[in-house]
Homo-oligomer: A and B are copies of this chain.
Amino acid sequence: MEQSQLSALFNPKSIAIIGASPDDQKIGGRPLSYLQKYGYEGVIYPVNPKYEEMNGLTCYPDIKAVKAPIDLAIIAVPKAVVLQTLKKCIDQQVRSVIIFSAGFAEIDEEGEKLQDEISQLAKQNNVRVLGPNCLGMFNVGKGVYGTFSTIIEDEKPLKSNIGFVSQSGAFGSHVFTLARQHNIGFSYFVATGNECDVDVADCLEFLANDPDTDVIACYLEGTKVGDKLIRALKLARENGKPVIALKVGRTSVGMKAALSHTGSLVGADEVFDTVFRQYGVYRAETIEEFLDVTYAASKLPFPKGNRVAVFTVSGGVGILLADQLSANGMTLPETPKQVKEKLREILPIAGVQNPIDTTAQISYMPTLLEDFMHSVLSSGEYDSALVFLGFAGLKLDSLQDRISTLKTMQERFKDIPQIVVTINSQESRKMFSDAGICVIEDPSRAVTVSKALHYFANREEAVSEETLLPEKQDIFGPATLLTEYGSKKILKQFGVPITEEKLAKTAEEAIQFANEIGYPIVLKGMSPQILHKTEKGLVVLKLKDNEEVRSEFERLKAIIAETEGAEFEGVLVQEMLNQESVEMVVGSKKDPIFGQIVMVGMGGIYIELLKDVSMRKAPVSSREAAKMINELQASPILRSYRGKPPYDVAGLSSLISQFSHFIVTYEDMLSEIDLNPVMVFPQGQGIKVADGLMTLEKQVIHS
């Protein structure tokens, strides 16, 4: 339903332009001009009371005068009359609307209120609205130009299989122009503006379903609709479409700038990062990377593995490529012996070891490149090829030869992505483009592309994670912060292994429990108001007998009694863990955009100083949890390290998975949980949560 309205927006059969103008320098003139000159085949209804006819079309005084169904209305009128115009569109049963006009939420509170009204009208009447304050969109294949952008005024945009959504018009325009300079086109270009209704996730979902789009590029500043975004990303993955995202606001400085730019919620960047990786999105850091990777993904197959054959006219660049490929997880397997011999026969001075150096002889021996590439690639030992041709792109007289060879190779080795690197001129770019060859202008950028293709080839399969969430029960009391005792009691109900422990209200009880558990014993004073027990002196270890338990019980109780505002919950009598173990931390936090996030790290300074943490949007399977552990820099410590036994990674993985399901079940109630430390014992001996703290959402109302 929503999506069919979106197709009215992106692929309308009829378009009304409200505020149309015959002047193609005016905001209402440009879409009309583009639609007419770039071959839109649907019906256009210019609306402007000042004209009866416009550019050979009947012009209507008012949208109400159009007595025909309208798929899309473009609103190019002053802010003051936007709302009434929209209402007329709704009366007219227009299916979708683009609002160019600015002056809404991006300006002031009044604008925000007006925008909210638009948003509500749209939702109530099932009209999809793109904007306001937006550059609009275009659909190159169908000649739909719902935009006033000047980026397409000189030339008709090129068509390709790349759909591009941008949360910034200026950013989108820049990327479009850069792409145009490199002969790269798009299927769709959408700038989402203020996103009062249609948002970036809607557009991604549309492109994920669109048959003309194979690759999706997306510029993001933030989103309010985490779940919807994830749904769209999952859909793209299911449909085999790579998504490349450039998201800004990585640092606190950038985030501050993003806040002042968009005025909207930005969200923790590392959570975006996590979500991108989890759903197979490639995150580009720079504009060049964004465009290079998008372009390559739209042209080339994904490699079957990480084995790269490098062909180079410069030994030096060959070394550079070898360095950077291997630093990015690719390998350069040795040239097979027989192939080496063959290459030597062809050219004795060649560097026959991968990276393969054709030397400058490539200019004098017309078949050298083909002979070399054919010999090497037909060995079956390589999954992709990188061909560095120096400045061949500037030598137009010999370039055609080179391009013929490369085209032949591409046809002969269809499954092997082949990336060509050369400095180009405008002419040579077009020659490569016409030949369907992926050319990149810098070796290091080609390495990034190679890494990205490999990333897409290795994205997780879109497994349908049948999530078995525990049944939700009323397990939390009225407090917003649970003590170690309260937190662990709840976790225990869900099968999480915790230390053996009991809460004693009196010294007598404490002694009884200590004897049941067995000495030595740990005592911890519990008060919901005291977060940092150790600093308050509320933890005592290694108590050996009843006498010690009695006196320490009283001492702990007294400390709490003396602390202002602190209630005494009791004293926790806990087993003393003496086994060989590694201390890990498992935790959760609730991201305002994506919800419950599960984290794991090694205890102590690993998390604090070295930021050695791995996270995922919850829930995760045990298998995914094992991957999280593996991503930690310190993870070798959990394996057989320095002669120590391997630790129970399976137990830890299973805890993380269980825990992640728990936090999703109580998503709305939980704010943050910190299980610290989680003791991981040697393999087969499991794990135990030794301490933990749960913070609940304040607004939870208990039934």
Contacts and interface: CB of A to CB of B under 8 A. Distances in A.
A423 interface: yes
A633 B608 CA distance: 11
Contact of A390 (B173, B219, B285, B634): B173
Interface in A166-212: 166-168, 170-171, 173-174, 177-178, 181
Contacts of A431: none
A320 interface: yes
Given A287-B442, A287-B444, A174 B317 contact: yes
Interface stretch (A233-241, A257-265, A371-379): A257-265
Interface stretch (A308-316, A501-509, A550-558): A308-316
Nearest to A334: B256
Interface in A226-251: 246, 248-251
19 contacts: A168-B316, A170-B315, A170-B317, A173-B314, A178-B391, A248-B319, A249-B319, A250-B327, A251-B323, A251-B327, A254-B319, A254-B320, A257-B319, A257-B322, A260-B353, A261-B315, A285-B324, A287-B320, A426-B426
A166 B319 CA distance: 14
B394 A318 contact: no
B177 A253 contact: no
Contacts of A177: 390-391, 394, 423
A323 B250 contact: yes
A700 interface: no
Nearest to A310: B257
A499 interface: no
| Interface size bracket, A side | 35 or more
Determine which residue in A246, A253, A610 has the highest number of CB atoms from chain B within 10 A of its CB, and name it. Answer: A253
A-B pairs with the 3 shortest C-beta distances? A254-B323, A170-B314, A171-B316
Interface in A619-646: 633-634, 636-637, 641, 643
A219 to B, nearest CB: 7
Interface string A409-446: 00000000000000101100000000000000011110
Q: How many of these chains are in the complex?
A: 2
Contacts of A637: 605, 609
B261 A357 contact: yes
Contacts of A318: 257, 261
A349 interface: yes
A325 interface: yes
Interface of A: 102, 107, 166-168, 170-171, 173-174, 177-178, 181, 219, 221, 246, 248-254, 256-258, 260-261, 285-288, 313-320, 322-327, 331-332, 349, 351, 353, 355, 357, 359-360, 390-391, 394, 423, 425-426, 442-445, 535, 605, 609-610, 633-634, 636-637, 641, 643
Determine which residue in A314, A322, A349, A426 has the highest number of CB atoms from chain B within 10 A of its CB, and name it. Answer: A322
A177 B393 CA distance: 11
Contacts of A325: 253
Nearest to A250: B323
Contacts of A332: 253, 257
A226 to B, nearest CB: 20
Contacts of A327: 250-251
A314 B426 CA distance: 26
A221 B610 contact: no
